[in-house]
């Protein structure tokens, strides 16, 4: 049985200007210990997918329209709030993009770090503090005993992200959801944090969902990648296949846009047009208006994810019919 099984998740936002279908029928599963990369541009629904699973969507304006997200036998979308709370922060943890705004500036690092232990494991303060200290050392913070009593503003960006990771991992979760945790950091610090996530994953054997827009980060970290566009999954495959034999035109276009892979001085490849406005119904394939291979059939009917090989699914009927 997979650790997490998401089926037909649909999340929309109801605003005065209309209904935005941010996540529109997303299904995937995650095995224990697996690392799944979710790649997509801003607005593709990659973060909203994970926020929905964790119950972090503000309702209203957000609304989970349907689907299920079963984590180790519990449907996170339908269970009682206290059941979800018992899982969140203990067996499922999350780290966010901006470590400055996700730490409480008024609380000492130590107090924030051990909060999950006090709440979920009801440990005595002394014991929790000992575990907090060990965790801070494990994520590579020197002089951890003194730093437990510092405030977030006294840490650099990279150190704050380490604190966030320590806080997320302190209860030894089975699933870690990382939402662009290195986007705000320098490349050198990004390399440190990615190395840390790899090491902690090995040590704890946890599964990781890594949300990013950077295909480079995904290539060294993830076992499997799923590409999202306009609230839907357009392709999913193991990382090697996705990089070496992508089938969906959007995945290919995304890969072609990476500057590192293009000849210096040449005009960079760009995807024509803009992502669709999700507050209007998108009848066919959401990528069709920007796709050089689109036919009338693509614009008329919404393509389903189909398996090309075990584990390699994509939603392009033309690629399936070997027309591309």
Q: Between 80 and 244, whose beta carbon lies closer to another protein? A: 244
Q: Which residues in the 101-130 window bind another protein by CB under 8 A?
A: none
Neighbours of 28 (CB within 10 A): 21
Among 124, 205, 220, 311, binds another protein (CB under 8 A): 220
**The two three-digit tokens of residue 41, written as one number:** 């541009």
Beta strands, E only, the chain: 4-15, 18-30, 35-39, 62-71, 74-75, 92-95, 175-179, 207-212, 224-229, 232-238, 306-309, 312-314
Site membership for another protein, residue 289 (CB under 8 A): no
Site membership for another protein, residue 191 (CB under 8 A): yes
Q: How many residues bind to another protein according to rule CB under 8 A?
A: 43
Site membership for another protein, residue 186 (CB under 8 A): yes
> Minimum Å distance from CB 251 to another protein?
12
Measured distance CA(303)–CA(316) in Å, rounded? 6
Measured distance CA(264)–CA(303) in Å, rounded? 36
Q: Between 42 and 322, whose beta carbon lies closer to another protein? A: 42
Taking phi over 0 as left and psi of -120 to 50 as alpha, with beta for the rest, 311 belongs to left
Q: Between 174 and 180, whose beta carbon lies closer to another protein? A: 180
> Minimum Å distance from CB 215 to another protein?
5
Measured distance CA(158)–CA(185) in Å, rounded? 7
Is residue 176 classed as helix, strand or coil in its secondary structure? strand
Could you tell me the strand order of the sheet in which 74-75 lies? Answer: 18-30, 4-15, 62-71, 74-75
CA 35 centroid distance within chain: 10
Q: Which residues in the 46-105 window bind another protein by CB under 8 A?
A: none
> Minimum Å distance from CB 265 to another protein?
8
Site membership for another protein, residue 253 (CB under 8 A): yes
Q: Which residues in the 192-211 window bind another protein by CB under 8 A?
A: 192, 194-195
Encoded one letter per residue, x for contact with another protein by CB under 8 A and - for no contact, window 152-171 reads: ----xxxx------------
User: Residue 244 forms beta bridges with which residues?
Assistant: none
Site membership for another protein, residue 277 (CB under 8 A): no
Q: Between 125 and 240, whose beta carbon lies closer to another protein? A: 240
Instruction: Provide the binding-site residues for another protein, judged by CB under 8 A.
Output: 41-42, 156-159, 186-192, 194-195, 213-217, 219-220, 239-240, 243-244, 253-255, 257-262, 264-265, 267-271, 274
């Amino acid at each position: 049985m997979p650790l997490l099984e998401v089926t037909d998740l649909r999340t929309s936002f109801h605003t005065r200007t209309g209904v935005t279908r941010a996540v529109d029928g997303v299904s995937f599963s995650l095995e224990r210990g697996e690392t799944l990369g979710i790649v997509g541009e801003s607005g593709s629904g990659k973060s909203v997918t994970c926020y929905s699973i964790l119950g972090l969507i503000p309702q209203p304006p957000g609304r989970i329209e349907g689907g299920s997200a079963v984590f180790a036998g519990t449907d996170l979308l339908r269970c009682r709030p206290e059941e979800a709370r018992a899982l969140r922060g203990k067996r499922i943890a999350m780290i966010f993009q901006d470590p400055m705004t996700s730490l409480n500036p008024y609380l000492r690092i130590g107090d924030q770090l051990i909060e999950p232990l006090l709440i979920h494991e009801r440990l005595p303060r002394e014991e929790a503090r000992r575990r907090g200290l060990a965790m801070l050392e494990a994520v590579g913070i020197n002089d951890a005993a003194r730093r437990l009593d510092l405030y977030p503003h006294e840490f650099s960006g990279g150190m704050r992200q380490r604190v966030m990771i320590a806080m997320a991992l302190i209860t030894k979760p089975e699933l870690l959801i990382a939402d662009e945790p290195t986007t705000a950091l320098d490349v050198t610090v990004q390399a440190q944090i990615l190395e840390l996530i790899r090491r902690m994953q090995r040590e704890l054997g946890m599964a990781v969902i890594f949300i990013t827009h950077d295909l480079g980060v995904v290539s060294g970290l993830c076992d499997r990648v799923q590409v999202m566009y306009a609230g839907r999954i357009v392709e999913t495959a193991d990382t090697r296949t996705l990089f070496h034999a992508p089938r969906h035109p959007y995945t290919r276009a995304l890969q072609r846009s990476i500057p590192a892979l293009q000849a210096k001085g040449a005009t960079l490849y760009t995807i024509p047009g803009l992502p669709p406005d999700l507050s209007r119904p998108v009848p066919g394939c959401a990528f069709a208006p920007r796709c050089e291979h689109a036919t009338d059939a693509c614009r008329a009917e919404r393509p389903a994810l189909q398996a090309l090989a075990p584990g390699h699914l994509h939603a392009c009927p033309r690629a399936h019919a070997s027309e591309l």
